[in-house]
Every structure is written in C-alpha cells, then in structure tokens.
Amino acid sequence: DTAVSQTPKYLVTQMGNDKSIKCEQNLGHDTMYWYKQDSKKFLKIMFSYNNKELIINETVPNRFSPKSPDKAHLNLHINSLELGDSAVYFCASSQDRTGSPLHFGNGTRLTVT
C-alpha cells in the first residue's frame, strides 16, 4: 500500500503547455505539501494545505496553482510551462500542521523542452 502516491513519475512537455501533477495520501493526514527540488538537489516548499485550506504559499509564480478537492488529495496545476520549471516535484503529508514527521511521495520529474 503506497502511503503518498503522485502521478506521473515522469513528465516531458514543451514550453507553453499546461500540465497537472496529482497527489493522494491514504494515511488520514490533515496536512499536505508540494516541494520543488532543483538541479542542485535543494528542496524548497511551494504550498501547504491543512484540511483543504491553503496555509503556506511561498513566492511561487501564479502559473502554479494547487487544488485540494479533499484532505486526501493535493494536485498541482502549472500553466504556460517554462524551461526553468524543470525540476523534481515532491508531494508530502503530515499528521498535522505543527510539526509531525513528513511522508513523501516518490517525486515527479518534470522536463520542459
């Protein structure tokens, strides 16, 4: 049973396209996150939702829009993809927003050509 699953694992697309990455957790956690890992392997928070409510929104271009239909799902939609969006995107969840351990998905490697 995969605890945090994200799809697709690989995504190759052209500049200007719109794409989505889906994330689902079956752990019953309240809080979900999107992280971006750049080419130097540096992780940075993008968004966090707690019970479908946006609680963290870092300085991310508004081409990126998270959507949480319910607390088990947090999808990431990206409009007008740019070369610089190429990275690995990780979804994660935690029991609550105050600092419980994180559970990560396996990542989605996005390549924009």
Partner 1 sequence: KNEVEQSPQNLTAQEGEFITINCSYSVGISALHWLQQHPGGGIVSLFMLSSGKKKHGRLIATINIQEKHSSLHITASHPRDSAVYICAVRSRGNEKLTFGTGTRLTIIP
State the residues that interact with partner 1 by CB under 8 A: 40-45, 48, 55-56, 58, 88, 90, 92, 97-104, 106-107, 109
CA distance 35 to 43: 6
Closer CB to partner 1, residue 82 or residue 96?
96
Minimum Å gap between C-beta 24 and partner 1 is: 16
Minimum Å gap between C-beta 82 and partner 1 is: 23
Neighbours of 41 (CB within 10 A): 7
Buried b (16+ CB within 10 A) or exposed e, 57-86: eeebeeebebebeebbbbbbebeebeeebb
Closer CB to partner 1, residue 19 or residue 104?
104
Closer CB to partner 1, residue 100 or residue 113?
100
Closer CB to partner 1, residue 18 or residue 53?
53
Minimum Å gap between C-beta 16 and partner 1 is: 27
Determine the residue type at 42. F
Minimum Å gap between C-beta 92 and partner 1 is: 8
Q: What is the dihedral of CA 96, 98, 102, 108, to 10 degrees?
A: 80
- At which residue do the structure tokens 């979804």 appear? 91
